[in-house]
């Protein structure tokens, strides 16, 4: 029998990206091969439900697969992730070619389930239960020396129930992974040549503080785990995401001073600059609390790049509230931000709130906010000109400079840097960390020159 071909389409956050990477490696370990969507026998959609748009994309994508299925009735389609958890088995009724539905906690069972489904064409399966503890899965490690950047999940779910957010409903309660398996995975990755690790969770700062932890092994807090990982010999770069301002502890802030391999970049979602809106969102901090954290971070690591998430048009947001968000952005000077128009999500508190705003008002606020961010990002990038940064090379750049081939990568601040490859540079630089002097700031990225003698 020839090897099965599979194709994974991923929507959503880094947790989903990482889950898909794990699934891909696990299916390859079964002897299956990655294929294109047109050719594959098994199609997997890993979905996101955080706003209405990504949810709608799932239905339209599944609708388009109907033609492929009509041409190849043996096509096997699986839907996983947050929309699968939210919508459940109704996918079976709407899309006859969907034969597996799995929520985020069901992922570890998916490789075996897919293998079985290919053998039993009349079977359909679903994994929609939440597990009691962190859904540990077999390691799917790459060949030594191949992978230079890796994600490591340290927790599943979220206990915060921010008024607008569906994530606690789709990913379940917070369950911290055991510190032993986290460290074991990180050590294994560094031994195989990984240079940069990003720790993942919906709210990494509350690692170990699960509300349901009674009876389970007590884990140390986030700063302890962070210290242990940062101290692994050979680990060049460490990052973590996402942080909730209410749980960002002084020990985590000072870790940026203790560990030079902890990259000077923090993504710290503010959501709104208005205390009234923050209260309605249930975020449990004020703008002043947030600005105090920013001061602490800048005292510890003055050059740190701060990025954020912002929502415009939360129910009841007045024009004055919105102006407070713009003021806050300017006061912090975010290097970049993700900004979203508020979108009703089923089962959340905000969906039932009064004071919903007109679409046009929300769209206009988003436009204004994004203009302010463009200004701030340009200022931030402009200040980098002349600086010497360390770039972890991710690939060849589509752009060239002075007719030399160019490389693209990320510096320690998380910014994209392009640079021409000097003729005397080693041939294959992908995965290397190289010093680059920044020469020019573009709208969203930087150009520099490699410093060959370092
Ligand atoms: N756990 C992370 C990320 C959650 S989802 C955190 O707490 O920061 C990523 C972002 O999506 C959120 O930070 C928020 O800005 C945005 N978001 C979540 N729900 C939303 C909704 N209903 N409408 C618009 N944006 C939303
Ligand atoms: Fe959603 Fe809030 Fe949890 Fe983030 S902290 S995942 S925004 S409920
Ligand atoms: Fe989306 Fe689920 Fe991540 S809703 S943002 S994929 S946790």
Lowest-confidence range among 133-147, 207-221, 338-352?
207-221
200 lines ligand 3 (CB under 6 A): no
Measured in degrees and rounded to the nearest 5, phi and psi for residue 17 equal -60, -45
Q: Which residues lie closer than 8 Å to 55 by C-beta, 6 or more apart?
A: 47, 48, 49, 83, 86
338 lines ligand 2 (CB under 6 A): no
- Asked if residue 211 has pLDDT above 80, the reply is no
Lowest-confidence range among 6-20, 226-240, 379-393, 398-412?
398-412
Percent of the chain with pLDDT strictly greater than 70: 96
pLDDT tens, position by position, 405-428: 899 999 999 999 999 988 887 778
CATH number of 136-262: 3.30.750.210
Q: Atom 3 of ligand 3 has which residue's CA nearest to it?
A: 13
202 lines ligand 2 (CB under 6 A): yes
- Asked if residue 50 has pLDDT above 80, the reply is yes
158 lines ligand 3 (CB under 6 A): no
- Asked if residue 450 has pLDDT above 50, the reply is yes
13 lines ligand 2 (CB under 6 A): no
- Asked if residue 70 has pLDDT above 80, the reply is yes
Per DSSP, the residues of 55-95 read HHHHHHHHHHHHHHHHH-TT-EEEEEEHHHHHHTTHHHHH-
Identify the CATH class of 388-450. mainly beta
**Residue 155, pLDDT score:** 96
**Residue 3, pLDDT score:** 85
pLDDT tens, position by position, 352-391: 999 999 999 999 999 999 999 999 999 999 999 999 999 9
158 lines ligand 2 (CB under 6 A): yes
Mean pLDDT, the chain, whole residue set? 94
Domain 5-127 and domain 388-450 have a common topology: no
- Asked if residue 216 has pLDDT above 80, the reply is no
Mean pLDDT of 333-362: 98
**Residue 397, pLDDT score:** 83
In the chain, what are the domain boundaries? 5-127, 136-262, 264-383, 388-450
What pTM does this model have? 0.94
Q: Ligand 3, closest atom to CA 171?
A: 7
pLDDT tens, position by position, 143-196: 777 889 999 999 999 999 999 999 999 999 999 999 999 999 999 999 999 999
Q: Which of 388, 275, 374 is nearest to 334 (CA)?
A: 374
The encoded tokens of residue 46 equal 């890993």
Pocket test for ligand 1, best of 202, 247, 269, 273 (most atoms within 8 A of CB): 269
Counting ligands in written order, the one closest to the CA of 284 is 2
Q: Which of 265, 286, 291 is nearest to 276 (CA)?
A: 286
Pocket test for ligand 2, best of 12, 162, 170, 272 (most atoms within 8 A of CB): 162
Q: Atom 1 of ligand 3 has which residue's CA nearest to it?
A: 48
Identify the CATH class of 5-127. alpha beta
Percent of the chain with pLDDT strictly greater than 90: 88
CATH number of 264-383: 3.30.750.200
Sign of the alpha-carbon torsion through 261, 143, 204, 328: positive
243 lines ligand 1 (CB under 6 A): no
Order the strands of the 265-267 sheet from edge to edge: 265-267, 305-312, 336-341
168 lines ligand 2 (CB under 6 A): yes
């Amino acid at each position: 029998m020839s090897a099965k071909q599979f194709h994974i389409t991923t929507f959503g956050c880094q947790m989903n990206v990482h889950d898909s990477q794990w699934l891909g490696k696990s299916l390859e370990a079964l002897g299956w091969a990655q294929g294109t969507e047109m050719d594959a026998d098994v199609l997997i959609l890993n979905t996101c439900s955080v706003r209405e748009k990504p949810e709608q994309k799932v239905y339209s994508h599944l609708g388009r697969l109907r033609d492929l299925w009509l041409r190849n009735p043996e096509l096997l389609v699986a839907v996983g992730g947050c929309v699968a958890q939210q919508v459940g088995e109704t996918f079976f009724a709407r899309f006859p070619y969907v034969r597996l539905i799995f929520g985020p906690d069901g992922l570890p069972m998916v490789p075996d389930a897919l293998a079985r489904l290919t053998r039993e064409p009349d079977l359909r399966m679903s994994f929609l239960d939440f597990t009691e503890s962190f859904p540990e899965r077999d390691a799917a490690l790459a060949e030594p020396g191949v992978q230079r950047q890796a994600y490591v999940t340290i927790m599943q779910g979220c206990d915060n129930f921010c008024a607008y957010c569906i994530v606690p409903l789709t990913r379940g309660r917070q369950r911290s992974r055991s510190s032993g398996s986290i460290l074991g995975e990180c050590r294994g990755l560094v031994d195989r040549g990984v240079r940069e690790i990003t720790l993942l969770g919906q709210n990494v700062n509350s690692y170990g503080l699960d509300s349901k932890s009674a009876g389970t092994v007590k884990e140390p807090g986030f700063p302890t785990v962070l210290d242990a990982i940062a101290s692994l010999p050979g680990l060049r770069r460490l990052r973590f995401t996402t942080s909730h301002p209410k749980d960002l502890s002084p020990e985590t802030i000072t870790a940026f001073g203790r560990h030079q391999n902890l990259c000077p970049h923090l993504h710290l979602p503010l959501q709104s600059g208005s205390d009234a809106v923050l209260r309605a969102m249930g975020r449990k901090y004020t703008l002043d609390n947030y600005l105090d954290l920013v001061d602490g971070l800048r005292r510890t690591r003055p050059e740190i790049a701060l990025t954020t998430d912002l929502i415009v048009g939360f129910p009841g947001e007045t024009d004055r509230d919105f102006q407070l968000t713009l003021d806050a952005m300017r006061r912090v000077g975010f290097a970049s931000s993700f900004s979203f128009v508020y979108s009703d999500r089923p089962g959340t508190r905000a969906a039932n709130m009064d004071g919903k705003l007109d679409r046009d008002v929300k769209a206009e606020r988003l436009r204004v906010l994004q203009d302010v961010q463009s200004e701030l990002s340009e200022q931030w990038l402009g200040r980098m000109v002349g600086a010497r940064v360390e770039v972890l090379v991710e690939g060849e750049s589509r752009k060239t400079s002075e007719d030399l081939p160019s490389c693209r990568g990320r510096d320690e601040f998380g910014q994209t840097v392009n640079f021409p490859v000097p003729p005397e540079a080693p041939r294959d630089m992908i995965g290397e960390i190289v010093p680059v002097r920044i020469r020019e700031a573009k709208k969203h990225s930087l150009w520099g020159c490699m410093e060959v003698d370092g």
